[in-house]
Amino acid sequence: MHLRKRALVTGGAGFIGSFLCEQLLAAGHDVLCVDNFYTGTKDNIAHLLDNPHFELLRHDITFPLYVEVDEIYNLACPASPVHYHFDPVQTTKTSVHGAINMLGLCKRVKATILQASTSEVYGDPAVHPQPESYWGNVNPIGPRSCYDEGKRCAETLFFSYRQQHKLRIKVARIFNTYGPRMHINDGRVVSNFIVQALKNEPISLYGDGGQTRSFCYVDDMVQGLVSLMNTTDEFTGPVNLGNPTECTIGQLADKVIALSGSKSKLVHKPLPSDDPRQRRPDVALACRALGWEPATSLEQGLAKTIAYFEQVLRRGSRHGTTG
Ligand code: NAD
Ligand code: UDP
Ligand code: UDP
């Protein structure tokens, strides 16, 4: 018999969260989307508002929340460096106070809770690729620390609540994820490069472009998060979720230019401080424990993302604005 579960998705109006809400509804669950629209937008979930199994609540998770649910996916947190810098205190509060509130809620209703942690817990990694056992290399007072240390503290809180209150927890360490519905001004590399390429404007390459990342398409990420939630109570993670195909940022720029048929040229800009030099997930644990691995190649995912931004720009220019 299919059991309809009540899932809470914090940050559900954001990029990854909105796809997760869709996926959970498609699987036959009730979804409560909680978001304060800091970086997310109603447009991401407008198509779900007519579904009687979907509810939207405007709420900031740094404040207590009393609802009845079976599963909590805690995704609320600005994720792009531009956005988390903008209000660093609120960023850390969202990770830390937000985690405490969601864990308190989980404890009261005896739910299962999943934390959207990040590869940023590894900082500028001295071990490559990064396995879950690596403790990281994080600057506690640098420009990224409001995000990195907030997320690290949230992981600590998850494991402390498990130890002290026997909560069912799951911690996913998400590596760079991209796809449609990324915020057009979000500042992350994939959306920046695609928007610049589509406008035939210079592509802003920070540093020499030799730094690496490994990009995961959003559909694969959502599958990974749902698979993690469905593991047995003993399995907590942390588990890396990401695509292990690594490329330099320079190579990414070339691919975006080629796939979008752009006339854009590269322009070098200063590398932000503490920008990790290399990043690639070791996904052996995800493979073994979740039977999960990403299925979408960078070319396939970029093509879908380019098609999305083409539409957004076309709509924007009709309304006299392009973002
Ligand atoms: P996003 O900015 O699109 O989504 C975050 C959502 O959280 C937004 O809708 C925002 O309005 C909401 N939010 C922020 N603060 C809130 C608060 N205090 N209360 C309620 N809602 C709040 O970013 P995303 O890329 O979809 O990221 C989702 C989660 O995944 C984040 O926790 C992020 O740290 C994590 N993550 C993402 C990536 C990535 O590459 N996309 C990588 C690592 C980790
Ligand atoms: N909390 C919440 N919703 C709930 C239960 C708790 O938001 O349904 C918040 C509550 O405000 C508290 C936090 O979660 O500050 C942590 O809860 P916990 O029970 O661990 O702490 P306590 O209430 O004992 O301080
Ligand atoms: N980057 C870039 N141009 C941009 C935006 C980002 O060259 O317009 C670089 C950035 O310096 C970093 C990489 O791309 O090395 C990924 O940046 P992003 O902000 O997307 O994610 P994160 O650094 O958090 O992995």
- 10-residue block means of pLDDT along the chain (323 residues)? 88 98 98 97 97 98 98 97 92 98 98 98 95 97 96 98 98 98 93 98 97 98 98 98 98 98 97 94 98 98 98 79 44
A 10 A CB-CB count for 146 gives 22
**Ligand 3: residue whose CA is nearest its atom 10:** 206
Question: What element of type H or E holds 239?
Answer: strand 239-241
* Cβ atoms 20, 222 nearer than 8 A: yes
Q: Mutation test of ligand 1: which of 33, 39, 215 has the most ligand atoms closer than 8 Å to its C-beta?
A: 39
Ligand 2 pocket list (CB less than 6 A): 64-66, 100-101, 104-105, 107-108
Give the ligand with the smallest distance to the CA of 119.
1
* Cβ atoms 175, 242 nearer than 8 A: yes
Strands 177-178 and 216-217, by their bridges, are parallel
pLDDT of 322 reads 44
Closest atom, ligand 1, to C-alpha of 174: 43
Task: Assess whether the previous peptide bond of 129 is cis (omega < 30° from 0).
Answer: yes
CA of 263 to the centre of ligand 1 (A): 32
Query: Looking at the annotation, which residues are catalytic?
Result: 147
What number of CA atoms fall less than 13 Å from residue 113's CA on the CB side? 30
CA of 268 to the centre of ligand 3 (A): 13
| Phi, psi of 99, deg, nearest 5 | -65, -45
pLDDT of 319 reads 57
Tell me if 176 CB under 6 Å of ligand 3: yes
In angstroms, rounded to a whole number, what is the distance separating the alpha carbons of residues 41 and 60? Answer: 14
**Encoded amino acid at 138, one letter:** V
| Phi, psi of 282, deg, nearest 5 | -90, 115
Q: For residue 243, give the nearest of 287, 208, 181 by alpha carbon.
A: 287
**Ligand 1: residue whose CA is nearest its atom 29:** 75
pLDDT of 316 reads 82
CA of 107 to the centre of ligand 2 (A): 8
